[in-house]
Amino acid sequence: MYHTPVLLSEALHYLLHDGSRLILDATVGSGGHAKAILDARGNVTVIGIDRDAMALEVAAERLKEYSGRVFFFMGAYTELDSALGSRGNVDGVLVDHGMSSLQLEDSHRGFSYSGEGPLDMRMSGTGQTASDLIESTDMAGLACVLERYGEVARPRRIARSIKNASQKHMMRTTADLKAAVENAFGRRVSPGLLSRIFQAFRIAVNRELELLQEFLGSILRYVNRNGRLVFISYHSLEDRMIKEFLRRESAECICPPGTPVCVCGRRPALELLTKKAIKTANEEIARNPRARSARLRAARVI
Ligand SMILES: C[S@@+](CC[C@H](N)C(=O)[O-])C[C@H]1O[C@@H](n2cnc3c(N)ncnc32)[C@H](O)[C@@H]1O
C-alpha cells in the first residue's frame, strides 16, 4: 500500500496554473501527489526530491509510466542547486511535510512505538540515530526536545527516565523508549503521548525545523514569476514558520509601526492565495485519520 496523499485536490488547485511546466515536489514520498500532478497536466514535468532512498524507490517504480516527465533527486530539499541542475526555475513547489505511512509502518525504521525495532528514526539513513541523540544529549536537552517538538507536559520527568535508561545502555529499541516513558509515570500512557514523544525525537533527529528554515530562506530564488508555493504541514511549529514566511514575503510595507507615511518602498514577493490555513475536511479525516492535523497554505510569486 502507498501513503495516501493528503489534501490532494486542494494542493493541485493551488499548485497548478495555465503556465505550469516544471513542478518541484520537494517531499515526493511514495509519489501520490506527484502522480496526480502528472495525470492532471500532460505537459508538466515533475522533479521529486526525497531524502529517503526507500521512498524514492517506491516513487520511481510507481511513476515509471511517466518516464521522461519525472526526475528524482535523493537528498534534502535544501539541496536545490543540485536537485534542479540545469533545468532552471520551477513554476510550482509542493512541500508535504512530516513522514509517510510507509516510514511509520516499517518497524525497522524506528518511527513508531507500535512495532518493535531499532530506535533509528533517520529519514536519510545517515547521521545520528534517535538512540545516539538520546545518548549524547543531557537531561535538560532531552526535556527541551520533548517540550518544544512534542509539546509534552512534564518533559523533565520523562527526560530523566529516558536518560537513566540510556545511561544503563537500555535505549536501543522503540520498546526501550516506550518502557522508559511508562516508567516515568509508573503506568501505561496514552497512545497520544507516545506519538508526541516519538514525533519529538523524529523532528530532532532529522533536523526538520532547521531544514525548513533554510528552505524558506532560499526557495524564492528558484521559482518563476506567477509560480505557486504550496505547503502542507502537520506540526504547529512548522505551520507557524510557514505562516510567518508567507506573511513577511507578502507584506506591502515593513515600516516600523506608527510611521506616518510609508518610506520602505517595499515590493512584496508573494501574493497569499490562502488567507487562513486550509484544514482537512471531515470526510477526508474519516478516510485517512493521519490527515487530521494537516494545514495547507499557498502563495503566488508576484
Ligand atoms: C508526508 S511524506 C510525502 C508524501 C507524498 N506527498 C505522497 O503523496 O506520497 C513526506 C516525505 O518527505 C520526506 N522528507 C521530509 N523532510 C525532508 C527534507 N528535508 N528533504 C527531503 N525530503 C524530506 C520524507 O522522507 C517523506 O518521504
Residue 52 CA, ligand 1 centroid: distance in Å: 8
Q: How far is the CA of 272 from the centre of ligand 1 (A)?
A: 24
Could you tell me the domains of the chain?
Answer: 8-102+209-301 (3.40.50.150), 125-205 (1.10.150.170)
| Atom 19 of ligand 1: nearest residue by CA position | 76
- 12 ligand 1 Cβ < 6 A: no
33 lines ligand 1 (CB under 6 A): yes
Q: What is the spatial distance between Cα 292 and Cα 35, in angstroms, rounded to a whole number? A: 22
Rounded to an integer, what is the distance from CA 29 to the centroid of its chain?
Answer: 11
From the CA of 81, how far away is ligand 1's center (Å)? 18
The x, y and z cell numbers of residue 184, run together, are 516515568
Is the C-beta atom of 122 inside 6 A of ligand 1? Answer: no
Which SS3 state, helix, strand or coil, does residue 165 take?
Answer: helix
* CA nearest ligand 1 atom 14, residue: 27
Find all residues with CB under 8 Å of 222, minimum gap 6, and list them: 24, 80, 84, 89, 90, 93
Report the greatest alpha carbon distance in the chain.
64
Calculate how far, in angstroms, residue 103's C-alpha sits from the geometric centre of ligand 1: 10
Q: Does 227 contact ligand 1 (Cβ within 6 A)?
A: no
Burial of 78 (0-12, 13-18, 19+ CB in 10 A): buried
Which of the listed residues 2, 8, 24, 27 should we mutate to test ligand 1's pocket, taking the one with most ligand atoms within 8 A of CB? Answer: 27
Residue 11 and residue 15: Cα distance in Å, rounded? 6
Kindly give the interhelix angle for 155-167 and 174-185, rounded to the nearest 10 degrees: 130
Distances from the Cα of 185 to the Cαs of 60, 147, 181, 193, 221, in angstroms? 45, 17, 7, 12, 49
- The DSSP output letter for 252 is S
Cell numbers 506591502 correspond to what residue?
Answer: 252
Provide the grid cell at 179: 518502557
Any atom of ligand 1 within 6 Å of the Cβ of 233 = no
The whole-angstrom separation of Cα 86 and Cα 200 is 37
In ligand 1, which atom is closest to the CA atom of 212? 19
Q: Output Rg (C-alpha) for the chain, integer angstroms.
A: 21
235 close to ligand 1 (CB < 6 Angstrom): no
In DSSP notation, 90-145 reads EEEEEEE-S--HHHHH-GGG---TTS--BS---SSS-S--HHHHHHHS-HHHHHHH
Residues 166 and 136: beta-carbon distance below 8 Å = no
- The reported pLDDT for the residue numbered 257 is 86
C-alpha 24/C-alpha 20 separation (Å) is 11
| Interval between CA 30 and ligand 1 midpoint (Å) | 8
Closest listed residue to residue 132, CA positions, set 120, 117, 116? 120
pLDDT of residue 169: 85
What are the cell numbers at 153? 507536559
What is the pLDDT tens value at each position of the chain, 302 positions in all? 788 999 999 999 999 999 999 999 999 999 999 999 999 999 999 999 999 999 999 999 999 999 999 999 999 999 999 999 999 999 999 999 989 999 999 999 999 999 899 999 999 999 999 999 999 999 999 999 999 999 999 999 999 999 999 999 889 999 999 999 999 999 999 999 999 999 999 999 999 999 999 999 999 999 999 999 999 999 999 999 999 999 999 998 888 888 989 898 889 999 999 999 999 999 999 999 999 999 999 999 99
